[in-house]
A and B are shown apart, each in its own frame.
Chain A
């Protein structure tokens, strides 16, 4: 089944403890992206990647890192999480050759709580 898989789905952690949220897609998509969703603010893009080894900042990149060493995986790294990073995170990917009109496929989300 074609899908975007995120792990963990739920995580409670403490301030300063490094964590990684993994994202994997099995559709051979080149474009991948991370969003966070907060009440009243909608979905905001954190980082995106046009292809392997090509990443760029979105609207709210502060406090996050990403890497894209292989096409299928796009992990989101919080080096030193803070309570303002408590949020619902979504990973998304897009089929190749569709440019900015292409459909985005989203994962089911990762709910992160930083105490």
Chain B
């Protein structure tokens, strides 16, 4: 399976934008890029996903590099509630297997 690499931790101030990077240099053409986050004492929560084009939803934006070897999750205005572990995951869209392999993720700390 293609792997992702994320920084162990990042910090931000409340109300400021946050850019969370993810490297996936071995991504294949059928791999979708998914982001989940896990708040303290909760299960993972879906954030966003994309294949080639940049994506926006109510929670965040996903910017995908032209060669798809990296991507960035953008939180436009961080709040204290955004403090969580953020996981960047590749999912093979060509199979029905449905496995979702989480790495270590990035611990995001948001300061008031």
Contact = CB atoms under 8 A, between A and B. Distances in A.
A and B interact: yes
B44 A48 contact: no
A106 B99 contact: no
Interface of A: 4, 31, 33, 35, 40, 42-45, 48, 50, 56, 58-59, 90, 92, 94, 99-101, 103-109
Given A56-B97, A100-B97, A106-B43, 17 more contacts: A4-B43, A42-B103, A43-B44, A44-B102, A48-B98, A50-B96, A90-B43, A90-B44, A92-B44, A99-B96, A100-B94, A100-B95, A100-B96, A103-B46, A106-B45, A108-B43, A109-B43
B68 interface: no
A100 B42 contact: no
Contacts of A59: 99, 101
B93 A58 contact: no
11 contacts: A31-B98, A43-B44, A43-B102, A44-B101, A48-B99, A50-B98, A56-B97, A59-B99, A101-B49, A104-B100, A108-B41
Task: Specify the main secondary structure of chain B where it touches its partner.
Answer: loop
Interface of B: 32, 36, 41-46, 49, 87, 91-105
A92 B99 CA distance: 11
Contacts of A35: 102
B46 A100 contact: no
A50 B97 CA distance: 8
Contacts of B44: 43, 90, 92, 104, 106
